[in-house]
């Protein structure tokens, strides 16, 4: 052991679900684990996704020795292209994770900046002062790894997303032997996934889905459409297996599904015979009983295929009465409302909809409480830091750690930005680095702040009022009647009266005004409208002089 400190700094994923990113820092050396995105809550209008705030790294980019990505889900890979805009370091990942990340990077035009190093579970690699051992973990995507990270400060085990599935779809259980071996060496700290810390028992094996799908395929009279995440490769395998058993052809709908399936098949992570797969066009020409389509859109996203099918606005095909739609997923917290709205619409269009609450067509990829206890017993860490989850998940995970005998002062429940330091085998909580999150919308990265989102919310809720004034160049008197335009803002009664009164108000204010006329007017109109209607539309005053 050395007297230098190992610093562990969560940049994302602690205190929230998504945008996972962890910094391991030893001396002037940084190892980054994961760089994910988070999908916005439905009240963040116009935001495509949210990425971690890399601010801490910006003056230390030359310290970064490597980036390790644990698996191919977007909450672990989705911010890589943004990270590479700031950091120039090799990326270490397994083949499938690399394939899926490369698809995203080529879209963002960052593929040429990415130096990938393919690793396999079981490999051991030196990254600066860190000796990193990759071990296989089960999750809802193949080729996931957990990490043993040895620095002179000691051995840390980083679980990544994991579960203990004895009968996984790809036949590869979590590497218990490696975990036991790491344990034997003495584990200074465990950082493990808290996503399901509030779920009792064990997460069911992915295999339970097989019988649920068997029932669906057995009972379906028409087409079957299965919606899932584009990265749920093992679900594609299970749907494919059922399709073979029930003599249906399988088609992938939507660009991300098609691309991910292609990569996974090329790399051997998806075993589907060529004659099983047809294009969507071919599938649409076939007898409904002979096809199953897989698409994205399990979260009720209006622009996804499932969202468009539910509103009858999909380009290539529509829902037909007799279709069976399977939502093979769990709503991400916050999305429940839009998911159920989509389900209702699909029923209205004549589809029979099967979802998690009525049949086990989805199981979680994350460990439940008993698996968490099992991991503690297996790894026997001295210290514990719960990762991946909202504060309630992290706190519950800490409770579970206490149940298996980890003392309270050996557990660090922290949120993004807090640093945890290890020195001479002792853990302490250090400073909190500043940071927040960065919104990405169609227009760019980080130019959209919370205030822009608030404006969009105001617009969506209460509409806007636009007042155009034409003033005399010299006298600054109004030379035309103020033009008042409103959108999304309708007065239940007295609309006429409103325009007249507002015009009068505007004229009076202009007559008495001097500098700062626009702001004054906006404020006056806002107050006036609020007093009259209790609503707060956005008010914009424009001036032109003639």
Interacting residues with Zn ion (CB under 5 A): 73, 75, 161
Taking the C-alpha atoms of residue 420 and residue 430, their distance in angstroms, rounded to an integer, is 6
β-bridge mates for residue 400, sequence order: none
Q: How far does CA 121 lie from the centroid of its chain?
A: 25
Q: How far does CA 138 lie from the centroid of its chain?
A: 19
Taking CA 91 as the corner, what is the angle to CA 271 and CA 172, rounded to the nearest 5 degrees?
Answer: 30
How far apart are CB 217 and Zn ion at their closest, in Å? 27
409 is catalytic: no
Chain position carrying tokens 């698409």: 295
Please state at what angle helix 495-512 crosses helix 517-533, rounded to 10 degrees. Answer: 150
Which of helix, strand or coil describes residue 153? coil
Q: Exposed e or buried b for every residue in 453-463, given b needs 16+ CB within 10 A? A: beebebbeebb
Residue nearer to Zn ion on the CB measure, 14 or 453: 14
Catalytic residue among 193, 323, 441, 462: 193
How far apart are CB 365 and Zn ion at their closest, in Å? 6
Q: Of 472, 467, 483, whose CA–CA distance to 518 is shortest?
A: 467
Residue nearer to Zn ion on the CB measure, 51 or 292: 51
| Residue 226 CA: distances (Å) to CA of 213, 216, 319, 359, 511 | 10, 10, 13, 13, 65
The residue count of the chain comes to: 546
Which of helix, strand or coil describes residue 22? strand
How far apart are CB 461 and Zn ion at their closest, in Å? 32
Residue nearer to Zn ion on the CB measure, 137 or 401: 137
How far apart are CB 539 and Zn ion at their closest, in Å? 42
410 is catalytic: no
How far apart are CB 418 and Zn ion at their closest, in Å? 20
| Residue 516 tokens, joined | 């700062």
| Strands (E) located in 175-214 | 187-193
How far apart are CB 393 and Zn ion at their closest, in Å? 12
Q: How far apart are the first and last CA of the chain?
A: 78
How far apart are CB 73 and Zn ion at their closest, in Å? 4
Q: Exposed e or buried b for every residue in 474-490, given b needs 16+ CB within 10 A? A: eebebeeebebebeebe
How far apart are CB 72 and Zn ion at their closest, in Å? 8
How far apart are CB 132 and Zn ion at their closest, in Å? 19
Taking the C-alpha atoms of residue 227 and residue 253, their distance in angstroms, rounded to an integer, is 10
CB 286 within 8 A of CB 244: no
Residue nearer to Zn ion on the CB measure, 73 or 308: 73
| Residue 397 tokens, joined | 């995970």
Q: Of 311, 318, 304, whose CA–CA distance to 254 is shortest?
A: 304
Q: Of 236, 226, 231, 180, whose CA–CA distance to 206 is shortest?
A: 236
Which residues touch 415 (CB under 8 Å, ≥6 apart)? 10, 14, 15, 391, 394
Catalytic residue among 71, 82, 136, 366: 366
How far apart are CB 35 and Zn ion at their closest, in Å? 12
Containing H/E element for 350?
Answer: none
List Cβ<8 Å contacts ≥24 apart for 403-412. Answer: 403/373, 404/373, 404/376, 404/377, 406/376, 406/381, 410/382, 410/383, 410/384, 411/383, 411/384, 411/385, 411/386, 412/383, 412/384, 412/385
CB 66 within 8 A of CB 103: no
**Which positions are catalytic?**
193, 366
């Amino acid at each position: 052991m050395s007297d230098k400190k190992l610093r562990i700094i969560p940049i994302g994923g602690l205190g929230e679900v998504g945008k996972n990113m962890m910094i391991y820092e030893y001396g002037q050396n940084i190892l980054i684990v994961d760089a994910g995105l988070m999908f916005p809550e439905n009240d963040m209008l116009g935001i495509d996704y949210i990425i971690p705030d890399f601010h801490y790294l910006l003056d230390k980019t030359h310290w970064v020795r490597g980036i390790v990505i644990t698996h191919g889900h977007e909450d672990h890979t989705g911010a890589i292209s943004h990270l590479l805009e700031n950091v120039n370091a090799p990326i270490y990942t397994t083949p499938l994770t690399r394939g899926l990340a490369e698809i995203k990077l080529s879209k963002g035009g960052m593929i040429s900046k990415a130096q990938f190093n393919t690793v396999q579970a079981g490999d051991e690699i030196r990254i600066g002062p860190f000796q990193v051992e990759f071990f296989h973990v089960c999750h809802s995507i193949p080729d996931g790894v957990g990490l043993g990270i040895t620095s002179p400060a000691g051995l840390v085990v980083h679980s990544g997303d994991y579960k203990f599935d004895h009968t996984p779809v790809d036949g590869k259980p979590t590497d218990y032997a490696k975990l036991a071996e790491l344990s034997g060496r003495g584990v200074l700290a465990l950082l493990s996934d808290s996503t399901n810390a509030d779920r009792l028992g064990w997460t069911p094996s992915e295999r339970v889905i097989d019988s649920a799908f068997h029932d669906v395929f057995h009972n379906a009279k028409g087409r079957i459409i299965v919606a899932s995440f584009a990265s749920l490769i093992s679900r594609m395998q299970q749907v494919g297996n059922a399709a073979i058993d029930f003599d249906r052809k399988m088609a992938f709908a939507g660009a991300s599904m098609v691309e991910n399936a292609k990569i996974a098949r090329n790399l051997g992570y998806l075993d589907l015979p060529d004659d099983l797969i047809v294009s969507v066009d071919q599938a649409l020409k076939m007898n409904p009983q002979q096809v199953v389509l897989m698409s994205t859109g399990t979260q009720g996203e209006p622009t996804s295929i499932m969202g468009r099918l539910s509103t009858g606005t999909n380009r290539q095909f529509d829902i037909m009465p007799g279709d069976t739609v399977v939502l093979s997923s769990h709503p991400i917290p916050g999305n429940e409302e839009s998911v159920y709205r989509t389900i209702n619409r699909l029923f209205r269009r004549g589809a029979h909809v099967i979802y998690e609450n009525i049949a086990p067509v989805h199981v979680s990829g994350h460990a439940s409480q008993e698996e968490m206890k099992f991991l503690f017993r297996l790894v026997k860490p001295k210290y514990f830091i719960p990762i991946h989850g909202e504060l309630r998940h992290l706190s519950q995970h800490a409770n579970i750690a206490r149940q298996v005998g980890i003392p309270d002062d050996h557990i660090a429940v922290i949120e993004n930005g807090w640093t945890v330091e290890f020195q001479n085998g002792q853990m302490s909580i250090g400073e909190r680095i500043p940071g927040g999150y960065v919104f990405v919308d169609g227009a760019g990265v980080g130019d959209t702040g919370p205030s822009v989102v608030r404006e969009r919310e105001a617009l969506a809720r209460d509409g806007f009022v636009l007042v155009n004034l034409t003033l005399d160049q010299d006298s600054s008197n109004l030379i035309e009647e103020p033009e008042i335009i409103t959108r999304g803002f309708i007065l239940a009664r007295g609309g006429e009266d409103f325009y007249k009164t507002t015009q009068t108000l505007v004229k009076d204010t202009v007559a008495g005004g001097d500098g700062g006329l626009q702001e004054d007017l906006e404020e006056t109109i806002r107050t006036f409208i609020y007093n009259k209607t209790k609503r707060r539309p956005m008010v914009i005053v424009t001036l032109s002089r003639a």
